[in-house]
Amino acid sequence: MFGKKLRLPVSYPADVWALGCFIFVLYGRMGIFGTYTPGHDGVLAVMTHCMGKPPATWWNAWDKGEKHVDDDCDYIRNGKAETKAAEPDTIEGRVLKRIPEHRGIISNPEEKYMVSQEELRDLAAMLQRIFRWEPKTRVTAEELNSDPWMQKWGVPAKEAMEEGLRKEAQRVREAPGLV
């Protein structure tokens, strides 16, 4: 959002950011910075509220920033700071609160929808390392490979999915009359 205006290059840290957004959508069934206020300014307001102020050059490049958040990163509604936001105001808060809500775990606690608190905490810790304003301070793709969430939850889930696909392909190959 600031890249074009400040002529910042797009590189691998943007891929890591996109991966974090994708993982949250898979778990939470909505975007981590989802907003009812359309447009870049609404999304930037949510990001600022969750992550704190962007670097000064970025903050100064945001023409309408002061109309959306104040210096304490509180939302501005009807010209006044809204210190009690309805949404969680940190990455961790969004993971720990939104994911259970949006998966139906609170209203319909079926086992198949459950995500353990340990997994959510590991996910929150990883996303906090991903969602950093400055690309150079973000975790790298290589570092993500050894992240606790990846090792305990991501890699085993990928392997289980691959095994399931392998078994299904074998079943189809062995089914009479299908090949």
- Could you report the per-residue pLDDT of 93-138, keeping only the tens digit for each? 999 988 888 776 666 667 777 888 999 999 999 999 999 999 899 9
Distances (CA, A) of 42 to 3, 66, 89, 100, 103: 17, 12, 15, 24, 24
Closest CA to 115 of 97, 127, 128, 129: 97
pLDDT, tens digit, 9 for 90 and up, residues 70-95: 877 777 777 777 766 666 678 999 99
Nearest-angstrom CA–CA distance, 136 and 32: 21
pLDDT, tens digit, 9 for 90 and up, residues 28-67: 888 898 766 667 888 888 888 889 889 988 888 888 777 7
Q: Which residue has the higher pLDDT, 55 or 69?
A: 55
CATH of 3-144, one of 3.90.650.10, 3.10.20.310, 3.30.43.10, 1.10.510.10: 1.10.510.10
58 CB burial (10 A radius; 0-12, 13-18, 19+): buried
Nearest-angstrom CA–CA distance, 118 and 46: 26
Distance of CA 163 to the CA centre of its chain: 27
Global pTM value? 0.80
